[in-house]
Chain A
Amino acid sequence: LPASLGRGCLGRWLLATRGWALLGAGTGSCSCLRWRHQPPLLLRAARQSIGTQAGGLKAAKPGGNSKDVSVQRALNEETLVSAAQKVKEAGRDFTYFIVVLVGIGVTGGLFYVIFKELFSSSSPNKIYGDALEKCRSHPEVIGVFGDSIKGYGEATRRGRRQHVSHIEYVKDGLKHMRLRFYIEGAESGKQGTVHVEVKENLETGRFEVRYIFVDVETYPRRTIVIEDNR
């Protein structure tokens, strides 16, 4: 009996020294010496002190009950969220939606522009490519410029020369386009300017070449006519 008394007192004292300022611990420590006379009260107080301690040693089963209670209380509180908060949330969602739409619109527009430029047969880039191929296979041009001919357009500020200068106009109800680009031979640095004009063919819907000629920058100036369908 004295041994169990000592062990019980030691247990209560350990609970108290952990800084648990609880009624159960307080009554446990001060009633340690009187436990023999009031065992049920002590045991009940001890169980209460352990049960209501959230992060204590025995937080498993008794603590689980308190956690269930707290979760249910949180759910009830969520359904009472105020109308003002709902409006704010909806406003934020709407703003995000608008931003996403604007982004998709801009990206789609850029894609459309680049597809039209690269794949449509009525884009200046396509016409420039076809005219360059015709220049490359023309014997007179090869004779002047050599075998490998480079083609380029107007120089932009960064030095890239991708932009081909062109004008579109309508004459007699048909669309015409005039292009101008430059070619250069590999050896001897000869430079030339190529002028192309195309006319829209209403039946096929594509552009037909009206004329292509090359101005060679030699002295005296030479003009090589590659195609003339006027």
Chain B
Amino acid sequence: MEEYAREPCPWRIVDDCGGAFTMGAIGGGIFQAIKGFRNSPVGVNHRLRGSLTAIKTRAPQLGGSFAVWGGLFSMIDCSMVRMRGKEDPWNSITSGALTGAILAARNGPVAMVGSAAMGGILLALIEGAGILLTRFASTQFPNGKE
């Protein structure tokens, strides 16, 4: 399989960034559609126009924030992999914490620590879920994936 033969890392950054933008844009679009629909004057035309305006304004913003988070996380992750020379769950947790810290840098050091803790815990939970899924999937196929 060619996709596993090449190094994933530099290309993974673009991959993650784009994936995060799509998630944010689609999720934000749905959310803003409902919100714009409800916060519009009575009448279907008004409501549709209101929800369309809300989507056009706010969904790219949410997609952009998600993309920044995803891109930064992937960049730090790949840098840690390169530095440590081994691929670990520790990389993901530290990357999440550093991403949270960097994105809260405008609000001072205390906010950075809080944001780093939140990012680290979130990534730890996601890693735990990933490990559970992989172990569960591997026990399902005793002869196959080992």
- Would B15 and A111 count as touching, CB distance under 8 A? no
**Which of these, A132, A160, A166, contacts B86 with CB under 8 Å?**
A132
- Would A114 and B87 count as touching, CB distance under 8 A? no
Interchain CA distance A163-B136 in the complex, whole Å: 13
- Would A114 and B131 count as touching, CB distance under 8 A? yes
Residues of B close to A129: CB separation below 8 A: 86, 88
**Which of these, A113, A132, A155, A158, contacts B131 with CB under 8 Å?**
A113
Point out which of B4, B85, B125, B134 has the most chain A C-beta atoms below 10 A from its C-beta. Answer: B85
Residues of A close to B89: CB separation below 8 A: 114, 117-118, 125, 162
B92-110 CB contacts (< 8 Å) to partner A: 92
Beyond A159-B3, A162-B92: 14 further Cβ-contacts under 8 Å? A110-B125, A113-B132, A114-B125, A114-B127, A117-B89, A118-B89, A125-B88, A151-B86, A156-B134, A159-B11, A160-B8, A165-B138, A166-B146, A180-B146
| CB of A7 closer than 8 Å to a CB of B | no
Given A159-B8, A159-B12, A167-B146; A150-B131 close (CB under 8 Å): no
Residues of B close to A125: CB separation below 8 A: 88-89
Residues of A close to B138: CB separation below 8 A: 165
B7-36 CB contacts (< 8 Å) to partner A: 8-9, 11-12, 15
Question: Which 10 residue pairs are nearest across A and B when measured between Cβ atoms?
Answer: A159-B8, A110-B128, A114-B128, A151-B86, A113-B128, A152-B87, A155-B4, A150-B85, A165-B146, A110-B125
Q: Least Cβ distance of A138 to chain B in Å?
A: 15
Q: Least Cβ distance of B87 to chain A in Å?
A: 4
- Would you list 9 pairs from A and B whose C-beta atoms are within 8 A, ordered by A residue? A110-B124, A125-B88, A149-B85, A151-B86, A158-B15, A159-B15, A160-B87, A162-B89, A180-B146
User: Which residues of A pack against B, CB within 8 Å?
Assistant: 107, 109-111, 113-114, 117-118, 125, 129, 132, 148-156, 158-163, 165-167, 180
**Which of these, A107, A111, A162, contacts B88 with CB under 8 Å?**
A162
Q: How many residues of B contact A (CB 8 A)?
A: 27
Q: Please give me the residue from chain A that is nearest to B126 by CB atom.
A: A110
Interchain CA distance A129-B87 in the complex, whole Å: 10
Interchain CA distance A99-B14 in the complex, whole Å: 37
Residues of B close to A180: CB separation below 8 A: 146
Interchain CA distance A59-B90 in the complex, whole Å: 67
Residues of A close to B87: CB separation below 8 A: 151-153, 160-162
Given A111-B125, A162-B89; A155-B145 close (CB under 8 Å): no
Interchain CA distance A129-B88 in the complex, whole Å: 9
Interchain CA distance A149-B82 in the complex, whole Å: 10
- Would A151 and B134 count as touching, CB distance under 8 A? no
Residues of A close to B86: CB separation below 8 A: 129, 132, 150-152
Residues of B close to A113: CB separation below 8 A: 128, 131-132
Residues of B close to A107: CB separation below 8 A: 125
Q: Please give me the residue from chain B that is nearest to A107 by CB atom.
A: B125
Q: Least Cβ distance of B17 to chain A in Å?
A: 13
Q: Please give me the residue from chain B that is nearest to A159 by CB atom.
A: B8
- Would A110 and B85 count as touching, CB distance under 8 A? no
- Would B128 and A111 count as touching, CB distance under 8 A? yes
Given A110-B128, A118-B90, A163-B134; A155-B85 close (CB under 8 Å): no
Point out which of A113, A125, A129, A167 has the most chain B C-beta atoms below 10 A from its C-beta. Answer: A113
Q: Least Cβ distance of B124 to chain A in Å?
A: 5
Q: Least Cβ distance of B44 to chain A in Å?
A: 33
